[in-house]
Amino acid sequence: MAKHKICIADLLARKASGPKIVAVTAYDVTFARLFDEAGVDILLVGDSLGMVVQGLDNTLPVTLDEMIYHARAVARAKPQAHIVVDLPFMSYQISVESAVAAAGRVLKESGCEAIKLEGGTTVTPQVAACVAAGIPVMGHLGLTPQSINVLGGFRVQGRTPVAQDQLLKDAQALEQAGAYALVLEGIPSELAERVTQAVTIPTIGIFAGPHCDGQVLVCYDMLGLQPKRQFRFVKRYAELGLATIDAARAFVHDVQAGQFPDAAHSVAAESIRE
């Protein structure tokens, strides 16, 4: 029996009936297949790849071509999960036309199903234009990594009543513009609960408490692939970084000791004769 492809209607229904939505970042076909097998609902091809894959200090240098490259790899897994791709910095902020062009390239060239962009009322024209062009849009509010130079770094947002009221207005404006879901990052849990109750579209939290309609984690953090990179809000479900180091050390030992390859991992001439 063919797998059911998770679509926007499924995600919208989950807000009312559950269960909560589970999203994980993925940047290649291998992780996309593994996470899909695990039952993840959304694969987010995040511009976080700039930091966890490319080794950059932030997401700002990531290009549209790079996002499409990684999104195409994820789409090759043909997952049941819904695939969302981040629009990178300055691919949508300049104008409505640039936003639609960038978003259209992502869908046409990658085979993914939706895009995500950061910002509130300032980007609602871009959201509305993309939706009108048939491009599904997920919003992103709170700690928006592409705005770190304005925010003063990776800091919790929505600290004051004024900021909280503005974030709520931004969420409602994005919904009105046609966004089908919102990522809420780095905000107080009470504010995330307030936003979640105020909109009819699903909210997906990261460092935003338990009251959102779903949760997302960066896969490298969730899997402990970078042992020295730890965040208080991340629950590490494995320590694959340390396991990888141990495996590589064992390989180094076996090669240097002449224990690999052995007969079981070699081919004798007589075994290949016709």
Q: Which positions are catalytic?
A: 185
- CA dist., res. 54 & res. 62, Å (int): 9
Helices (H) and strands (E) in the chain, counts: 11, 8
Helix (H) or strand (E) segment spanning residue 174: helix 161-177
Two structure tokens written together for 272 = 């290949």
**From the centroid of its chain, how far is CA 95?**
24
Q: Name residue 238's amino acid.
A: A
Q: Is residue 9 exposed (0-12), middle (13-18) or buried (19+ Cβ within 10 Å)?
A: exposed
Helix (H) or strand (E) segment spanning residue 270: none
Q: Name residue 1's amino acid.
A: M
For 141, phi then psi, to 5°, come to -125, 165
112, 85 in Cβ contact below 8 A?
yes
219, 38 in Cβ contact below 8 A?
no
Strands 21-25 and 214-217: parallel
- CA dist., res. 208 & res. 214, Å (int): 10
Two structure tokens written together for 146 = 């592409």
89, 59 in Cβ contact below 8 A?
yes
* CA quadruple 38, 80, 41, 122: dihedral sign: positive
